Amino acid sequence: MLILIAGPYRSGTNDDPQLIEKNMNNLEAMALPIFEKGHVPLIGEWVALPLMKLAGNKEIGDAVWDKIQYPVAHRLLEKCDAVLRIQGDSKGADQDVAIAKERGLPVYYSVDDIPSINK
């Protein structure tokens, strides 16, 4: 499965770069366990951040940010097979979960709940 990891990125940081980095580390910490279960992990920021840079993003929350950040995740959800929602308040991650549920995709709340396909 292609699994979108959804959780806080900007939320709760007051745009402090160190707190954003901590949130990103929390998201990325789930990637290897998902991969080891035989799946492909994906984080929306892995796609959105380079696109925003190319589009001329100057700061978090500017017009370029708004144009790309959430729409990237929504487009990725058209291709994903499941979502892993990690802990923490996040409007964007909650939107991702809602979209996944509308599409009938499984939503996991623990990496332990993701089935392993490795043999």
pLDDT tens for the chain, residues 1 to 119: 999 999 999 998 999 999 999 999 999 999 999 999 999 999 999 999 999 999 999 988 889 988 999 899 999 999 999 999 999 999 999 999 999 999 999 999 999 999 999 65
Q: Judge whether 3 lies within some domain.
A: no
Q: Judge whether 92 lies within some domain.
A: yes
Under 8 Å CB-to-CB from 76, ≥6 apart: which residues?
4, 42, 44, 47
What pTM does this model have? 0.93
Q: Judge whether 1 lies within some domain.
A: no
Q: What is the pLDDT of residue 115?
A: 97
Q: pLDDT per residue over 36-55, tens digit each?
A: 999 999 999 999 999 999 99
Q: Judge whether 5 lies within some domain.
A: no
**Side-by-side strand order, sheet with 40-42:** 40-42, 2-6, 82-85, 107-108
Return d(Cα 39, Cα 81) in angstroms, integer.
Answer: 10
> What's the domain range around 101?
43-111
Q: Judge whether 10 lies within some domain.
A: no
Per the structure, the count of domains in the chain is 1
